[in-house]
Every structure is written in C-alpha cells, then in structure tokens.
Amino acid sequence: MSVLIETTEGDIVIDLFFKERPNCCRNFLKLCRIKYYNLCQIFTVEENYIFQTGDPTNTGRGGESIFGVLYGDQARYFEIERVPKIRHLKKGLISFVNNGSDQIGSQFFITLADDLDYLDNKHCVFGQVAEGFDTLDNINSQTCDEENRPFRDIRISHTIILDDPFEDPPRLPIPSRSPSPKLDLVQATNKIALDEKIDEDEGKTAEEIKKELEEKEMKAQAEILTMIGDLHDADEAPPDNILFVCKLNPVTTSEDLEIIFSRFGEIVECEVIKDRRTGASLQYAFIEFEKPQQCEAAYLKMDNVLIDDRRIHVDFSQSVAKNYTWKKQNRDTDKFLSMRKRRFRAWVKDKKQRHSEKRKLWL
C-alpha cells in the first residue's frame, strides 16, 4: 500500500505497513484522501535526525486524526499502536508523533539517518520511504534557525494515493479538487519563497559579483554623503553635458580648449582648474556643452588626442559640484536680495517717521 507525497523539494513514495499498523495506515490514507496534508509546511528539520510536518497550523501544536474530522474533538486523537514493535533503525522511516499521552493525530516525521533507536517506544512507525531519498537529502541540507525551522518555505504540495486497501467511511468529506492556497499563505513574509535564492550570488560570474559589490559600495557612500549634507540626494547624478579633460599641458588655457572643442557644438563654459594660491594650472578641466549629444560626440573623438604635445584623456564628468555651485549662488543671491529689501524697508520707514515728526513741528 503506497502514497506519493509531492513536496516543493521533490517527490517521496511511501510504502505503508498496513498489516502491522492498520489504524495508523487507515488514518494516514484517509487524511491524504481528503487532501488534509496539502500545503502543510515542513516546519521542523533537524539535520541527520528527522523532519516533521502534518500540522495545518504549521506550529507543531495542531492537527487531528481522521476520526476527529469525522466525529469531532472527542475523537481528535487515537491510541498509539505498539504491537508488533517496529524500531527506528534506518533512514526513511515514517512515524506518527506521540502527543505526550500515547495518542496520535495527523503529525508525522520521517527519519533522516540510521539507528535512531532512542525514538522507539515513544512514536509509532507505520511505513518507509520506497523512492525519493534524494528529496530527503535536499530537505536534510536546508538552512534552519535556532528552533530548527527552515528558512525556506518547504511544503507538501500534493498527496496521491497509489493503493488503498481500506474502504472510505461514510460522510468522509472528499473534496472535488485540491484546496487553493489562502491569502495569508501567499503573503507569508517570514520564509524564503520557492523562487528565491538563499545565495544571491548563485549562478553569477566573478565579474558580475564584483560589479554588484562596487554598486552597493557606491550607494552606501552616497547615502553617507547625503547624511552629512555633501549630496542633495543619494540618487543624484552628475550632469550629462559636462566633459572632464585631464593630462593637460600646463600651458594649455581655457581659451585654447574652447576653440578646439567648439567644433562639436556650442560651449556654455570651459574652465581649466587652477591652484587658488599660485594660479598655476592643475592640468585638468571641465567643458560644459549646450546639449548632451555634443558632449558625447566630443568624448568619442577627443580621447587620447595630442594637444600642446600632451595626449589628453577625456571622460564624462562624475562631479555633482556644478549642481551645488548653482544652488549656492541662488541661495547667496536670494540672501543678498532679501537683505537689500530689509534695508530699503527700514530706510522708507525711517523717512516716513521723520516726515511725520516734521509735520507735527509745523503744525
């Protein structure tokens, strides 16, 4: 007598000991028949020991036998079967969980190692895995928290009865189709979803990983600069119409560069950066074009070009200082205009007051 258990980690075929454990096998088969185990989580995985499931509440404290389904809470559990004695001596044995009162309901576990004889006389073995040991290995290798709960959302997706020697009892609520997942199950946020990867770098090349790390580092640095006020926004991008030119000859002037680069379009501003104290060229410059297309054309044509016996290097500007300079000028201008307005108003008020005092003297 067999049952196929389809899980999100693979399929398992269970052969049942229906002669040695008739009540347990009847309970398991009829629960499978009414799709009771569908969507149940494998909520406990202890490496090289067991994995446990069979609780629709996924807490380890729920579940009921088929007799509880048929006859109510008074039949939620039934007596454990101990004769003949079947020991937990090999990997792949399926056993009903003892609720602490020598009674069993719906929860069961499957052994993941041999010689677990300390489980004997506590729980009830009623079958063994016939196929699907690779699935057991997949479940056994799952990463879990301190309470042995797997981080990945592993579930029984379906159960199929391959052979059932027991007749269905009257009033057995056999569904017409498998149950659909509820909204709270779909929106569960405390587990890694089936299509998510535990290792984010899985399947990526070394170059892709390096690029992602660089992007994360740049983003972190931008966040820090935003916090200390050096950036307006972490996503702030440099202007796309400004060209950076370096490796210049110290004798090259802003006027020289403007004449040379003006063939690509109208230049708004061209400035060779100089030392504030000495006025000497620092041998790099910024050239602002009217349009980004003109800047791109200059970038493609002018890199490694010889100017004043020096081969220059051209790249797009990565500086956002232009944005800050412009905004600072606006703030300074606004502050200056505001000050002038206050002074003018004070002057007008003073004039009015003096004129009023003079009128009083004349009268």
**Together in a domain, 161 and 251:** no
Q: Is 46 left (phi over 0), alpha (psi -120 to 50) or beta?
A: beta
Buried b vs exposed e over 105-125: b needs ≥16 C-beta within 10 Å? bbbbbbbbbeebeebeeebbb
The confidence score (pLDDT) of residue 362 equals 53
pTM over 0.75: no
Residues 161 and 270 in one domain: no
Alpha-carbon torsion 337, 343, 347, 352, what sign? positive
Task: Tell me the C-alpha distance between 24 and 195, whole Å.
Answer: 35
Per-residue pLDDT of the chain (363 residues; tens, 9 = 90+): 799 999 999 999 999 999 999 999 999 999 999 999 999 999 999 999 999 999 998 888 999 999 999 999 999 999 999 999 999 999 999 999 999 899 999 999 999 999 999 999 999 999 999 999 999 999 999 989 999 999 888 999 999 999 999 999 998 999 988 888 777 665 655 777 766 666 667 777 888 888 888 888 888 887 887 777 666 676 777 788 999 999 999 999 999 999 999 999 999 999 999 998 999 999 999 999 999 999 999 999 999 999 999 999 999 987 766 665 544 444 455 555 556 556 666 766 676 676 666 555 555
Q: What's the rounded Cα separation, in Å, for the pair 28 and 17?
A: 11
Tell me if residue 178 falls in helix, strand or coil.
coil
Q: How far apart are CA 37 and CA 157, in angstroms?
A: 8
Does 312 fall in a domain? yes
Q: Cis peptide leading into 173, omega within 30 of 0?
A: no
DSSP character string of 230-280: S-S-TT----TTEEEEES--TT--HHHHHHHHGGGS-EEEEEEEE-TTT--
Give me the CATH number covering residue 55: 2.40.100.10
Do 280 and 134 lie in one domain? The reply is no
Domain count of the fold of the chain: 2
| Residue 60, in any domain of the structure | yes
pLDDT given for residue 331 in this prediction: 45
Q: Tell whether 180 and 265 lie within a shared domain.
A: no
At 47, list the tokens.
């490496």
Same-domain status, 177 and 251: no
Whether 29 and 165 share a structural domain: yes
User: Nearest Cα to 122, choosing from 87, 93, 94?
Assistant: 87
Q: Are strands 50-53 and 93-96 parallel, antiparallel or unpaired?
A: unpaired
Work out the number of other CB atoms within 10 angstroms of the CB of residue 246.
Answer: 13
Q: In which domain, by residue range, is 48 found?
A: 2-186
d(CA 253, CA 352): 55
Query: Edge-to-edge, what's the strand order for the sheet holding 156-161?
Result: 44-46, 50-53, 108-111, 93-96, 124-131, 10-16, 2-7, 156-161
Q: Which residue has the tokens 């969507």?
A: 39
